[in-house]
Amino acid sequence: MAKRIGFFIANGFQALDLFGPLDAFMEVNSFVSEAYICSLIGLEAGHVKTAYGQSLTVDGDIYQLPQLDYFVICGGIGMRQLELSSKQLNALRLIANSASRVVSICTGAFVLAKIFPEQSHRVTTHWRHCQQLARQAINYQVEQDPLFIESGAIWSSAGVLSGVDLALEIIRRDHGNTIAASVAKELVIYLQRRGGQAQYSDLLQVQSGDSMRLNPLLEWLAENYQKSISVPDMAERISISERQLTRLFKRHLQSTPSQYLNQIRLNRARDLITCESLNLEQVALRVGFASYDSFRRAFYAQFGVSPSYFSRNHG
């Protein structure tokens, strides 16, 4: 039976917060007939404007809806600043209470907190607005780092493209790894990112720091991590000494060059275990480890569980 998903938007919503997850869910219908039926919901019928002024028409208002399986609250400056009457809040609460999953995308978490102010949930939103959300939603545990968080029936994401990662995870739960991977491929997404990954990458941290000398190396490592790479190889790549390379890594990435390379390999291994049908020995070789034993030890050191345990619980 098709699952019904309602996307709630109001004037000033972020278009990508809507269309990213919407496209991901609708793409499933290319592989599973009538998997999802998606509709747009407004405070009232008619036109709703994006944060940049473009207009679209919603399918219905919050008072005239069939029961939804998933209720998705999109973000955007207008959603973050949205003022709701008691009548509107009650209508939204009825929709949310009847849904099996309630999802906030980016600053949609501010609306979520208004709908369920008395509840206690772990949530995330765009890193720029986490402190404001924590001040307003005093019962919520607001976490700045994750891409998305599942807290019972409540899901929240950092917003923009992380909303697609959240949607892919729900698709994976509903229809399995193969369908989720197929959707990601159709959307030309390299690989689904897991919820626990940071909202911005080590490369972006370096770009926001006082040195960009590591950027060419980090980009090269991201593309060549599966190869045999030594610290001298890395230093030569950007024409600096090994000592200077190690100093830059410790200053900007809080790790040694070798530790950073291992982190890339292990994060990639984790995603391969989750999203692709490979045995663990194949995964170890695919990401550049010389042996399964060295891979197993490194995986346990980084994630606190063995690859086999992780595979049983996340594969």
d(CA 134, CA 305): 31
pLDDT of residue 205: 54
Q: Is 70 exceeded by the pLDDT of residue 206?
A: no
d(CA 153, CA 121): 10
Q: Which residues of 210-219 are buried (b: 16+ CB within 10 A; e: fewer)?
A: eeeebeebbe
Per-residue pLDDT of 51-61, as tens digits, reads 999 999 999 99
| Whether residue 13 has pLDDT greater than 90 | yes
Q: Residue 3: in which H helix or E strand, if any?
A: strand 3-8
Q: What is the Cα–Cα distance from 138 to 145, expressed in whole angstroms?
A: 18
Confidence label for 303 from pLDDT (cuts 50, 70 and 90): confident
- Rounded mean pLDDT of the chain? 89
- What pTM value is reported for the model? 0.68
Describe the crossing of helices 307-314 and 257-275 by its angle, rounded to 10 degrees. 40
Confirm if 195 and 169 have CB atoms less than 8 A apart: yes
- The 3-state DSSP class for residue 122 equals strand
> Does pLDDT of 99 surpass 60?
yes
What value does the mean pLDDT take over residues 215-219?
86
The predicted model gives 24-36 an average pLDDT of: 96
Sign of the alpha-carbon dihedral angle for 93, 99, 102, 108: negative
Residue 208, pLDDT > 70, answer: no
Q: Which residues of 176-196 are buried (b: 16+ CB within 10 A; e: fewer)?
A: ebebbbbbbeeeebebbbbbe
Whether the predicted pLDDT of 178 surpasses 70? yes
Instruction: Tell me if 186 sits within 8 A of 27, measured CB to CB.
Output: yes
pLDDT at 101 over 90: yes
Q: Of the candidates 104, 5, 18, 26, which has an alpha carbon nearest to the alpha carbon of residue 54?
A: 18
Residue whose pair of structure tokens reads 């690989």 in the numeric block: 191
Confidence of residue 210 (pLDDT cuts 50, 70, 90): very low
Which pLDDT band, with edges at 50, 70 and 90, does 195 fall under? very low
Q: Is the pLDDT higher at 180 or at 30?
A: 30
The larger pLDDT score, comparing residue 218 to residue 90, is at 90
- What percentage of the chain reaches a pLDDT higher than 70? 90
Q: Which residue stretches of 158-314 are H helix?
A: 162-175, 177-186, 202-207, 215-224, 231-237, 242-253, 257-275, 280-286, 292-303, 307-314
